[in-house]
Chain A
Amino acid sequence: MTSGGFFERLQTGLWKDNPGLVQLLGLCPLLAVTTTLVNGVGLGVATLVVLTCSNALVSATRRWIRQEIRIPIYVLIIASLVTCIELIFKAWFPALDRSLGIFIPLIVTNCAIVARAEIFASRNPVGASIADGLGMGVGFALLLMAIGAFRELVGQASILSGLDMLSGGAPFDGFSFADSGLLLAILPPGAFFALALAVALKNSIDQRRRRERR
C-alpha cells in the first residue's frame, strides 16, 4: 500500500474507506450512543484521539516489534490510551462521561482501531499513519455526529440537547421544534435504520459520480 499524499490519506478515511460506512467497523458504539448529536461528538472525538495516537505509537514502534507479539502490543497501547481518555473525560467532561458510560472504556474493543494498526500503521511511516488515523477518526466521528443529529431531530424533534456537557454551564435541553418526535428513531432499531440510510446515501452519491465520469 502506498502512503500517498497527506490529503489523499485523509480523504480515504473520510469518504472512500470510511470505517463506519464502508468497512462497517466499530458498529457497537456507533449504534449504541448516537441518540443525540452531543453524544456523537463526545464518542467521535474520543475515538479520533485514540485512533490517531495509537496509529502514531504503533507506527513509531513497528521496527522493534516482532510479528508474533504485535497483537498484545496493539492491545496494550490502545487500552492505555483509552484509559487516559477516560480519565481526561472524567476530569473535564464529567457529564459527558456519565452520558456515554461504558462506551468510553469500550473504545478499547472498537475494531476500527485495531484494524488501522494492523492494516496501516504497522507498515507505514509515522506521518502517514497519523494522517490515516486523522482521516479514519474524523470520518468515524462525522458519521457518529450525522447519525446522532438525525436520530435526535427525528426522535426528539430537537437538536444540540445536552450541549452543556461539552461547554459547561447550565443544563441545556437543545433547540426544540415540536413536543415529541418519532420515538422509534431513538430506540435501538432507529440506529440501524439511520446507519442503513447513511450507507445508502453514500452508495448512491458514489454511483452518480461514477456515471458522470463515464
Chain B
Amino acid sequence: MSGQTIIKTGATLAVIAAICTTLVAATYQLTSERIVANEKALLEQALQPALAGIFYEGGVSESRLVMLAPHDLPGNDTALIYRVYAQDKPVAALFAVTARDGFSGLIRILVGVEFDGTITGVRILQHRETPGLGDKIESARSDWIFQFDGRSMGNPAVTGWAIRNDGGEFDQLTGASVTPRAVIGAIRDTLLYFDVHRDEIFAAESTEDNK
C-alpha cells in the first residue's frame, strides 16, 4: 500500500470506528440509568434474607466496606462487609465472603451476623457446584442453608462447625460432602473473624465508590 492508500484506508477505519462508538454511546445513554437501578435493587434484594427480623434504618448498600486481600476472612479474596445500624447504633453486619474449597470454582456466600454474634441468615450468592447434588446449598433448592439461622460461635463450639460425618453438628447433603464442608468452614471463619474484629468493623469509614 502506498502512503496515500494507508491514509485513505485508515480514514475509512476511523469513520467506521466513530460510527460504532456512537452506536455504543447511544445505547449506553439509553440503558445506564436502568442498569444502575437494577444493580442496586439486586444488591438490596440479595442482602434481604440476611436481614430477616432485624430492625434497621437507612440503606444497607451505602455502608459497604471493601476488604482487599490479605485479610483473615474466608477465601482471602476481596470481601464485602455491609454494616447495619439503627439510630446510629450497630445492629448487624453482612459479610460477602468466598469459599475456595468447594467442588468446582469459588462459592460466594452471604453471612448475616447480629451484633451479639448470632447468625441472622446465610445465602449462597454464587456457585458452580454440581447441579442436583452440591447445588442444594441454594435456598431455592433445599432448606439446608436455613439450619444456620440463630446459631453462633459457641452454639455449637468451634469443633461443632462441621457436618455430622466429620463429628460436627450440621446436616450434610446426600451425595455431596465437599460442598457443605466448604460452606460451613466459611461461615465458621466469618464468625471467628467477627468475634475478633467487631468493633473495628463498625467503626470503619465506608469505602467510597470509585465510579
List the interface of chain A (C-beta within 8 A of B). Answer: 35, 61, 64-66, 68-69, 72-73, 76-77, 79-81, 83-84, 87-88, 90-92, 94, 155-156, 171, 173, 180, 183, 186-187
Q: Please list 20 pairs of residues, one from A and one from B, whose beta carbons are closer than 8 Å in the complex, sorted by A's number.
A: A68-B1, A68-B9, A69-B9, A69-B12, A69-B13, A72-B13, A73-B12, A73-B13, A73-B16, A76-B17, A77-B20, A80-B20, A80-B24, A81-B23, A87-B27, A91-B31, A94-B38, A183-B133, A187-B130, A187-B131
Query: Complex Cα distance A90/B130, Å?
Result: 26
> For residue B28, which residues in chain A have a CB less than 8 angstroms away from its CB?
87
B12 partner, pick from A64, A83, A94, A156, beta carbons under 8 A: A64
Contact in complex: A84, B132 (CB < 8 Å): no
Asked whether, in the complex, the Cβ of B9 is within 8 Å of the Cβ of A84, the reply is no
Across the interface, which residues of A come within 8 angstroms of B23, CB to CB? 80-81, 84
What's the least CB distance linking A80 to chain B, in Å?
A: 4
Q: Pick the residue among B5, B38, B132 that contacts A91 (CB under 8 A).
A: B38
Partner of B16, one of A77, A88, A171, A187: A77
Among B13, B17, B27, B132, contact of A88 (Cβ-Cβ < 8 Å): B27
**Quick check: A87 and B20 within 8 Å, CB to CB?**
no
Q: Does B69 contact A (CB under 8 A)?
A: no
Known: A66-B12, A69-B9, A186-B132. A83 touches B27 (CB 8 A): yes
Of all chain B residues, which has the CB nearest A93?
Answer: B38
The answer to whether the Cβ of B158 comes within 8 Å of any Cβ in the partner chain is no
Quick check: A91 and B35 within 8 Å, CB to CB?
Answer: yes
Q: Confirm or deny: B42 has a beta carbon within 8 angstroms of a beta carbon on chain A.
A: yes
Assess whether A180 is in contact with B13, with CB atoms less than 8 Å apart: no
| B residues less than 8 Å from A80 (CB atoms) | 20-21, 23-24
B residues with CB within 8 A of A? 1, 5, 9, 12-13, 16-17, 20-21, 23-24, 27-28, 30-32, 34-35, 38-39, 42, 130-133, 140
Excluding A66-B5, A87-B28, A183-B131, 10 further A-B contacts by CB distance (< 8 Å) are A61-B16, A65-B12, A81-B23, A83-B27, A87-B32, A90-B31, A90-B38, A91-B38, A180-B132, A186-B132
Give the contacting residue for B20; candidates A66, A76, A186; CB below 8 A: A76
A79 proximity list for chain B (CB < 8 A): 20
Knowing A77-B20, A84-B24, A180-B132 are in contact, say whether A91-B34 is a contact too (CB < 8 A): yes
Looking across the interface, which residue of chain A has its beta carbon closest to that of B31? A91
| Residues of chain B within 8 A of A171, CB atoms compared | 140
Q: Return chain B residues, CB-CB under 8 Å to A183.
A: 130-133
The CA-CA distance from A196 to B92 in the complex, in Å, is 53
Name the residue in B12, B42, B130 with the highest tally of chain A Cβ atoms < 10 Å from its Cβ: B12
Q: How far is the CB of B72 from chain A (nearest CB, A)?
A: 30
> What residues of chain A lie closer than 8 Å to B131, measured between beta carbons?
35, 155-156, 183, 186-187
* Bound-state Cα–Cα, A31 to B45, Å: 31
In the complex, chain B residues whose CB is within 8 Å of the CB of A69 = 9, 12-13
* Residue pair A94, B42 in contact (C-beta under 8 Å): yes
Assembled-state Cα–Cα distance A156/B141 (Å): 12
User: Can you list the 7 inter-chain pairs with the closest CB atoms, starting with the nearest?
Assistant: A80-B20, A91-B31, A91-B34, A84-B27, A94-B38, A87-B31, A90-B35
Q: How far is the CA of A180 from the CA of B141 in the complex (A)?
A: 12
C-alpha spacing A39/B16, complex, angstroms = 32
Q: Give chain A residues whose Cβ lies under 8 Å from the Cβ of B38.
A: 90-91, 94
Name the A residues within 8 Å of B16 (CB-CB): 61, 73, 76-77
B1, B16, B130, most chain A CB atoms within 10 A:
B16
A81→B27 CA distance, assembly (Å): 10
Q: Which chain B residue has the least Cβ–Cβ distance from A35?
A: B131
